[in-house]
Amino acid sequence: MDSFFKDRREAGRELATLLADYANRDDVIVLGLPRGGVPVAFEVASALGAALDVLIVRKLGVPSQPELAMGAIASGDAFYLDDRIVGYAGVSKPELDAVIEGERAELARREAMYRGSRPPLDTAGKVAIVVDDGMATGATMRAAAMSLRNGGAAPARLIAALPVAPLDAASRFAEVVDSCVCVLQPRHFLGVGQFYIDFEQTSDDEVRALLGLSA
């Protein structure tokens, strides 16, 4: 029988128990992937006594099936494309370019909305714990990790932290993270929302409020 989280906040509290070794350290930064990853990350950061920041990532959805990620982009010009999915879905070059252009505009909008003039926390030489509310293809987490690895503030250790993911989650981005921590890895995985009782979309206002509360 599948296990469930009541909501993202509960998922964050459960995830934090697996990260207890990083509690009360001044070299740990928790990075939430908006929007849904921020409520989870807020609980993790609160439990660990760690700083919280946001890392903007945008999924590149297949035009005919937007929930299916064919890649992702992130702050710092990180770009990841899964050529297998692009080919399987028959996405043309003009279609791909249009998706990228649209998501770059949305990434810029969210950078301004969630961060404003506040600079990113410095992750150089730190332990960066990147948190989302779950994982399907791994494209979003991969792009997030790449943006940290390839930027000017590369962390000493990079951890992908997820409440729920497929059994092979770690192998999908093993070369760009140091470890993957996950609460649930069910054998029968159809989608992230399957394992939440309340999986309502996180609003921009909620993200802004949680980031403000953690400042």
pLDDT tens-digit series, residues 131-152: 999 998 888 898 889 888 887 7
- Residues 112-120: contacts with CB within 8 Å, 24+ apart? 113/204, 113/208, 114/34, 114/54, 114/56, 114/204, 114/207, 114/208, 114/211, 115/54, 115/56, 120/53, 120/55, 120/75, 120/153
* 1 pLDDT tier (thresholds 50, 70, 90): very low
Distance CA 96, CA 166 (A): 26
Q: Which residue has the higher pLDDT, 12 or 56?
A: 12
Read off the pTM. Answer: 0.87
Q: Name the architecture of domain 8-57+115-213.
A: 3-Layer(aba) Sandwich (3.40)
- Average pLDDT in the 70-77 region? 83
pLDDT digits (tens, 9 = 90+) for 160-174: 999 999 999 989 888
Residue-range domain boundaries for the chain: 8-57+115-213
* 213 pLDDT tier (thresholds 50, 70, 90): low
